[in-house]
Structure 1
Amino acid sequence: MTAQMKYYEMYDDVYIPGRWHLRFPLFKDGENELGREDDDERELFDTWRFSEGRVLEIERPIRLSVKPAGVALEYTEAMGIPIVHRRVVSLFERLGLQKEVQFIPVEVEGQTEPWFILNALQVIRCIDDARCEEVFYRLPEHGDPSRVGQYKNVRGLKVDPEKVGSANIFRTWGWLVVLIVSERVKSAMEQEGITGIKFIEV
Structure 2
Amino acid sequence: MFAGVERVPIVSQEVADAFKMLAPDDVQLFPVTVEGAPERYCIVNALKTVDCIDEANCEGLQPYEQDDPHPEHQGAYRWISGLRIDSAKAEGALVLRPMKFKTAFIVSEAIKDALEQIGNLGISFERVTGPRKKKGGH
Q: With structure 1 as the length reference, what TM-score do the two structures score? A: 0.57
Structure 1's unaligned 5+ residue stretches are: 1-75
Give the one of 78, 85, 92 matched to 2:3. Answer: 78
1:88 — aligned with what? 15
Identity percentage over the alignment? 37
Q: With structure 2 as the length reference, what TM-score do the two structures score? A: 0.82
Q: Which shows bigger deviation, 181-190 or 107-116?
A: 107-116
* Separation in structure 1 between the aligned mates of residue 87 and residue 105 of structure 2, nearest angstrom: 15
RMSD (Å), alpha carbons: 1.7
Bigger Rg, structure 1 or 2: 1
2:3 is matched by which residue type in structure 1?
A
Residues 111 and 138 from structure 1, CA distance in 2 versus in 1: closer, same or farther, beyond 3 angstroms?
Answer: closer
Secondary structure of the 1:117 match is: strand
Structure 2's unaligned 5+ residue stretches are: 129-138
Greater share of helix: 2
Greater share of strand: 1
2:124 — aligned with what? 198
Higher relative contact order (CA 8 A, sep 6+): 1
Residues 114 and 136 from structure 1, CA distance in 2 versus in 1: closer, same or farther, beyond 3 angstroms?
Answer: same
* Separation in structure 2 between the aligned mates of residue 179 and residue 195 of structure 1, nearest angstrom: 15
Q: CA deviation at 1:143?
A: 3.7
Listed one character per residue, the Cα deviations across residues 100-147 of structure 1 (whole Å, up to 9, x for unaligned) are 111111111122221111111111111111100111223433343442
